[in-house]
Amino acid sequence: MRAADADRETVAERLRVALNEGRLDLHEYDERLQRAFAARTYGELDALLTDLPPVMPKQRSALEAVPAAGVPVGSPDEPAAGVVRRVTARWLAEVWLPYLRVIAVVVTVWAVTSLLSGELLYFWPVWVAGPWGAVLAIRTVAGLTRGEPRREAIERERRRQRKRAKRERRRELRPTDPDEPHDPPRTPRTP
């Protein structure tokens, strides 16, 4: 049967939820979203959701009480709210610390030049702090409403696990016996 625009929108919303949950990365989300809006039949739409779990109300979800997979937990008895607070605080620091450092430098330059000139100069750092601060405020509000801190924490943990797995593979490939002969270094051939 042919799908309607409302069906495509429903699938697009489910894909967005899967992205927010960390089940899809951004590239895969974009790819599936394009396919969803190009789909003509229910079968094409269903194929985009086959590997995703169905949406379950929070009241019935067994996962709701457990922190998301990959979100670092400090201690086993730490409540989920503590994890959320830590993840959010870290994300906010990553967003705002560069701004605060630059503004501190700019205000310091203004203060030193004012002291050296002997008078209070025009407070030009407002032209750096104002627009950038407004953009960061909008990004912060938008990021918090979309669950960006949690997504970044999950992605950070995935990267950490990939690095750990890569190190383990390297260790497995290294010769363990020191007496075992190694391949001699290859010398480049000259034409």
Helices (H) and strands (E) in the chain, counts: 6, 0
For residue 3, CA distances in Å to 11, 30, 33, 86 come to 11, 20, 15, 43
Cβ–Cβ contacts within 10 Å for residue 102, how many? 14
Average pLDDT of the residues in 17-36: 86
More confident residue, 40 or 55: 40
Average pLDDT of the residues in 72-93: 67
What is the crossing angle of helices 148-173 and 126-146, to 10°? Answer: 80
- In which residue are the tokens 């985009």 written? 48
When the pLDDT of each residue in the chain is averaged and rounded to a whole number, the result is: 80
Is it the case that residue 76 has pLDDT exceeding 70? Answer: no
Q: How confident is the model at residue 160 (pLDDT cuts 50, 70, 90)?
A: confident
Q: Decide: 149 and 91 in contact? Cβ < 8 Å.
A: yes
